[in-house]
Structure 1
Amino acid sequence: MNPVTAHDARRRRRLAAEIKDSLRELSNQLSLLNHQVGTHLELKDVDLDCLELITRHGPMSPSAVARRAGLHPATMTGILDRLQKGGWITRERDPDATDRRAVEVRALRERSTEVFKLYSGMNTKMDNLLADYSAADLELISDFLQRTTTAGQTATTKLAEA
């Protein structure tokens, strides 16, 4: 096994710092893109975030959406009210719940095309960018992003509990 040289250690630290900087820049750019999409849809940023959670992980209870979003249940009620009023979601009684007051929140598929259309430019750019990578490269990138997402979720949970 080759010992790590001081040069290698410096190079790894520099590359790690570049990756972290790039992730922060990516986060900023995606926030700006999401803000523009929300503006076109007349949704607040947090409403769009919650709609995305419901679309990807739903149907689910309002409390589950609040947990995933890291928001207080009272705040979530206002967000869900706005999304329902705008025709983005529906609240339905949970047929499997023992509490008859329990509801599930479900995204309305007929509105999804409006969202997808606004992200189509980014999706096309991503398709073109990813076409330059081998399957092995894509597996590595996918693993990195999944592990980064998990690290972010863990950090978010810790902050929310503090």
Structure 2
Amino acid sequence: MSELRFREATPDDVALLRAWDEEPHVQAADPNDDWQWEEELERNPDWREQRIAEADGRPIGFMQIIDPAREDSHYWGECEPDLRALDIWIGPADALGKGYGTRMMTLAIDHCFATPGVRAILIDPLASNHRTRRFYERLRFIFVEERDFGEDHCAVYRLERERWEAR
């Protein structure tokens, strides 16, 4: 099994992330967002982490962890404190189906819950993406509601700390 690690995403990653944005599987999962990589990778607010996943040194995915109560766009609306929200995807198509997504999510969840006050994690796949929804359900996320975020109709899921720790 290859070594998987995260490193901070930097402005040097803009071309890589733009290329991944054009991949059909990324487009299908996130069709209406412009991440504004050039601007966002220059910012480092204390409520957000942006990471590149590498398998044996090769970039294979992206992860963002935010505090939804504190992030500046208010994407999640009014949120209780002590939550985290995740965005995560595999970039290159040849890295799909190799277990990287599960390993990335497990590392991300463990990272979130390493902060003692974090009570739960939110995630919002497209409601129509049944394969991804089953993936999150296998990771013990519980469906909360369907909700529109901009142009995207999503399924909101939540993972409570106690549920993760009891696995």
Q: TM-score, normalised by structure 2?
A: 0.25
Greater C-alpha radius of gyration: 1
Relative to its length, the structure with more helix (as a share) is 1
